Chain A
């Protein structure tokens, strides 16, 4: 059959893949249809890969050297990728953020390598092949690809705590980083105009790799949801750039879907912290000095797990405010037991989810869903806040800055203006905390010293376990 027949077949497969990718994301909008979305995605990817094997050059190679010789490299890579991919899909849900970062890094790497290979191939064909359009696309692809590669590796290392999670800063950091990026772009522009100066190419690659590392070093753990979303967007955009290099519309479409998704998530995360992109990337949040106004030491009222059990038991409406601390303590299954005990007693229990609770967008929802808490009990911040004054007990587990009332009124506070969950408006607040040490951002939390707040000190898992036992014990009598 003729080449043009195969070309049409490839394009048709790509068209089907594009439609299916859009459906995949559309179906993901609701938990009921979401799994159908995954199926659509798998079918789309299968069509895309199948169509690619019909590519003229690949059929040519297979025709000349046979199936085995022609496809052994690809086959090997596909098998190896599958072998590595399966365990990566089985990580505990607390480790999903680092797996996601690793995945962005692989995406960036693939884009960078394909861009590099394409430059080498066209370089071999001579200057006429390296026109300005192709060179521009390649330079955008490799800068985005390689900086996403190392940046995401750093983010992964921080989340896995191989690298210190607190921001690492030094003098003139932003100046150095921006200068480095400017030099990378400058050299990139130069090579677009002088494409035969091949040694400029590795310079751009090295600068991009270095910039990726330096960009992420100053970013602290609490900013990870934004950074991961941003890197997600970069990984998508580098696929778009690859599409421009290879003149492939499927790559452009799928990359654009990913790019816009990452962008939307970054915007949501930034809004949830009342910060701008520049502030996240160049602000080194953890370094912000807490407001100089040292609150006068107010007395903290502490309570035992038994007290907490009694309070919860007599409530009509209780709201749990979970934070990353709950995940660190692995307390989510205990929380589920608590949910069961209270629901049995007719207490209405809801969960208030702050958008940046956890280490990536939606992280807290997945952790609670794993503990088999029904998803309609997971309420978004904006929806729960209007109910807060009616709440009898707000139980804060491992959350800190997202319930700090200072964000609403203290103009001197670094988190001023950040939308928070109004736990303080509940009739009683129970806060489980290890010690009185301030949270990640180093800011005192006045919630803990309020008149209607009771502190329960201890490890979140142990304390929730004690409350559950206290409740169960009473039932036995």
Chain B
């Protein structure tokens, strides 16, 4: 790998971490459980790497490992987003009519 790429990746990592800190600091404590299940789904971005490994089909062993990784990540994506939405629906101000 070129050294330039390594450094640009480190820059991306640092900047993304700062953005993460700033954005997440503002999340209301009310919503920390949905926050965690949403970030579960977001960190299932590992699906990208898993799809590449499983899709390249270079060797049987790596295809199997990649496929299991796609399965694991996909589980997190589906359950993470669905659960977050299910919980957020419960946060109501006052129910109408009362």
Contacts and interface: CB of A to CB of B under 8 A. Distances in A.
A35 B85 contact: yes
A268 B58 CA distance: 45
A58 interface: yes
Interface string B13-35: 10011011101111111111111
B53 A38 contact: no
- For the residues of B in contact with A, the DSSP-based class is helix
B47 to A, nearest CB: 6
Nearest to B44: A107
A360 B33 CA distance: 7
A361 B82 contact: no
B20 A110 contact: no
Interface size class of B (residues with CB under 8 A): 35 or more
A86 B39 contact: no
A117 B45 CA distance: 17
Contact of B77 (A26, A45, A370): A45
Nearest to B26: A29
Interface string A100-115: 1001101101110110
Contact of B12 (A58, A252, A261): A252
A361 B40 CA distance: 14
Interface in B45-74: 45-59, 61-63, 65-74
Interface string A285-299: 000000000000000
Given A41-B81, A259-B17, A121 B92 contact: no
A166 to B, nearest CB: 24
Interface string A374-402: 11101010000000000000000000000
A281 interface: no
Contacts of B53: 114, 117-118
Contacts, number: 365
Nearest to B5: A247
A355 B32 CA distance: 10
A264 B22 CA distance: 10
Given A362-B29, A362-B34, A88 B74 contact: no
B24 A121 contact: no
B73 A81 contact: yes
Contacts of A477: none
A99 interface: yes
Contacts of A258: 20, 39-40, 42-43
A375 B91 contact: yes
Interface stretch (A46-54, A414-422, A423-431, A445-453): A46-54
B46 A239 contact: yes
A214 interface: no
A283 interface: no
24 contacts: A25-B23, A29-B26, A31-B31, A31-B91, A45-B42, A53-B55, A58-B51, A77-B67, A77-B68, A78-B71, A85-B75, A85-B76, A89-B79, A109-B68, A110-B46, A116-B65, A124-B58, A243-B13, A251-B46, A254-B45, A257-B19, A257-B39, A374-B94, A378-B30
7 A-B pairs with least C-beta separation: A81-B74, A85-B78, A362-B32, A260-B20, A89-B82, A256-B16, A258-B43
Interface of B: 1, 5-6, 8-9, 12-13, 16-17, 19-21, 23-59, 61-63, 65-95
Given A117-B62, A252-B13, A365-B29, 12 more contacts: A29-B23, A38-B81, A77-B74, A84-B71, A103-B37, A110-B70, A110-B73, A235-B40, A247-B1, A255-B45, A257-B16, A362-B35
